[in-house]
C-alpha cells in the first residue's frame, strides 16, 4: 500500500505542473543558436519573470536532449529522423510537435578572393566527396581546394549530406568544424577553401550562387528565392517539443511565431516563414 501511495503522490506531483515554472531550456542547432538567443533576449525583456537558456551543440544533440528530457525545446535545422520519432513516441507516448519557425538558405561559402561566383549542385558534391580537388577543374585558379564541413551531430551536416551529397560520404580531406561560425572563420582566412552553413553567417566570405543543374539559372539565397523554394538548398528551421505547448513554453512559441518574433528572424539573417 505504501508503494501505491508513493506512486500516487508522484503522479499528483507530476500533474501539478513543471517543477521550475518560468524556466525554459532551448537546445540544439548551432545554425539557430544566435537566432534562439535573440528571441530569448527579446522575450525575457518583455517577460522578466521567464528565464530562457539557449545552448547549441547541434540538431542531433538537441533531439537527443528532447528525448532524454533534458531540454524543453529543441532547435533543429533538419527534420527529425523516423528512428528519433520512434524513440520519442516510445518514451513519452506522444508523436512530438514540429513547429517550423524560420527558413534558411543553406549557403555554400568560398573565400572572398575566389573569382568563382556560381557552382552547380553536382560540382559542390564533387568537391565535398573529393572527386574534384583543384579549383582549376571548375574554371577557377590553380589551387588545392580545402573543404570545411561540420560534425555529424549537426543538422546542417545531415541536410547537406542528404541534399547535396545524396548520402555519399564526405571526403576524408574535409575538415570538421565545431560550428558554422568556425567554418566561416576558416573560409575567410584560407583563400582556397570552401564551406557551407546558414545564410545568416556571411561576413567576410562570399556566398556562391547555386544551379540545380548545368542548364538551370544560378540562384543566390535571398528572401524571395528561399521562401518560394527556387533556391535549391532552401530549408525550414524547426522547434521540436515533446507535447503540445502549454504555459510558459506556449507563450514563448507564440512570440516566436508572432510578427515580432518573425521580424527578428530577418534581423539575424534568416528568412521568416511568410
Partner 1 sequence: LLIAALCAAPSFAFAQAAPAPAASPAADAPVPPSDAPAVPAAVPVEESPADAVAPAPTLSDVSAKLDGLEEAYSGTKATVDSLSKIKVSGYIQGRLELHEFSKNGVDSTNRPTVFDKFYVRRGRLKVTYAGQNAEYMLQIDATGSGVVLKDAEASFVDTWTPFNFKLTAGQFKVPFGYEVLQSSGDREMPERSRFIRQFFPNERDRGLRLQATRDWFRFSAAVVNGNFIQDSIYPDSDPNGAKDVIGRVGGDFDWLVVGLSGSYGKAMTTTLGRAATVSGSGSNITVTPAVLTDYKAYNRTRVGADVQAYLDVPSVGGLALKGEFAWQNDNNVALPGRPASDCNDISAMGWYVAAIQNIGDYVGVVARLDQFIYNNADRTGCTASLMATPTDRKTTTLGGGFLLYGSANIKFSAIGEKVFGYKVETDPAKYGTFDDRITFQMQAKF
| Residues within the interface to partner 1 (CB under 8 A) | 3-4, 7, 10-11, 14-15, 18, 67-70, 82, 85, 89-97, 152, 166-169, 172, 175-176, 242-244, 246
Q: Least distance in Å: CB of 94 to partner 1?
A: 3
Q: Least distance in Å: CB of 72 to partner 1?
A: 10
Chain-centre distance of CA 220, in angstroms?
19
Output 17 or 139, the one with its CB closest to partner 1. Answer: 17
Output 39 or 170, the one with its CB closest to partner 1. Answer: 170
Q: Least distance in Å: CB of 259 to partner 1?
A: 26
Output 3 or 214, the one with its CB closest to partner 1. Answer: 3
Q: Residue 210 — φ and ψ, nearest 5°? A: -115, 135
User: Do residues 239 and 99 touch, judged by C-beta distance below 8 A?
Assistant: yes
Output 48 or 82, the one with its CB closest to partner 1. Answer: 82
Cα separation values, 25 from 65, 114, 138, 172, Å: 10, 41, 45, 36
Q: Least distance in Å: CB of 10 to partner 1?
A: 6
Output 35 or 165, the one with its CB closest to partner 1. Answer: 165
Output 10 or 112, the one with its CB closest to partner 1. Answer: 10
Give 257's contacts (C-beta < 8 A, 6+ positions apart).
99, 101, 273
Distance CA 249, CA 177 (A): 32
DSSP class of residue 271 equals B
Q: Least distance in Å: CB of 138 to partner 1?
A: 24
Distance CA 56, CA 29 (A): 6
Length of the chain: 274
Distance CA 189, CA 118 (A): 20
Q: Least distance in Å: CB of 27 to partner 1?
A: 14
Distance CA 250, CA 63 (A): 19
Q: Residue 252's closest CA among 17, 55, 28, 52?
A: 52
Output 69 or 263, the one with its CB closest to partner 1. Answer: 69
Q: Least distance in Å: CB of 122 to partner 1?
A: 15
DSSP class of residue 208 equals P
Q: Residue 138's closest CA among 187, 205, 201, 211?
A: 211
Amino acid at each position: 500500500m505504501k508503494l501505491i501511495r508513493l506512486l500516487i503522490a508522484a503522479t499528483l506531483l507530476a500533474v501539478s505542473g513543471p517543477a521550475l515554472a518560468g524556466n525554459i531550456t532551448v537546445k540544439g542547432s548551432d545554425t539557430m543558436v544566435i537566432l534562439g538567443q535573440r528571441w530569448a533576449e527579446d522575450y525575457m525583456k518583455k517577460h522578466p519573470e521567464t528565464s530562457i537558456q539557449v545552448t547549441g551543440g547541434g540538431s542531433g544533440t538537441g533531439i537527443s536532449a528532447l528525448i532524454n528530457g533534458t531540454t524543453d525545446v529543441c532547435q533543429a535545422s533538419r527534420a527529425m529522423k523516423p528512428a528519433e520519432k520512434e524513440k520519442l513516441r516510445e518514451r513519452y507516448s506522444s508523436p512530438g510537435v514540429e513547429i517550423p519557425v524560420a527558413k534558411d538558405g543553406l549557403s555554400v561559402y568560398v573565400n572572398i578572393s575566389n573569382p568563382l561566383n556560381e557552382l552547380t549542385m553536382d560540382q559542390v558534391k564533387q568537391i565535398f566527396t573529393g572527386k574534384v580537388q583543384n579549383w582549376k577543374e571548375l574554371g577557377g585558379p590553380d589551387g588545392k581546394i580545402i573543404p570545411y564541413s561540420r560534425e555529424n551531430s549537426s543538422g546542417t551536416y545531415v541536410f547537406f549530406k542528404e541534399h547535396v551529397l545524396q548520402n555519399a560520404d564526405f571526403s576524408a580531406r574535409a575538415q570538421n568544424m565545431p560550428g558554422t561560425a568556425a567554418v566561416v572563420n576558416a573560409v575567410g582566412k584560407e583563400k582556397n577553401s570552401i564551406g557551407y552553413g546558414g545564410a545568416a553567417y556571411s561576413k567576410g566570405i562570399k556566398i556562391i550562387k547555386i544551379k540545380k543543374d548545368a542548364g538551370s539559372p544560378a540562384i543566390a539565397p535571398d528572401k524571395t528565392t528561399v521562401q518560394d523554394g527556387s533556391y535549391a538548398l532552401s530549408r525550414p528551421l524547426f522547434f521540436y517539443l515533446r507535447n503540445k505547448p502549454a504555459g510558459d513554453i506556449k507563450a514563448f512559441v507564440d512570440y516566436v511565431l508572432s510578427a515580432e518574433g518573425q521580424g527578428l528572424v530577418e534581423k539575424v539573417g534568416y528568412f521568416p516563414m511568410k
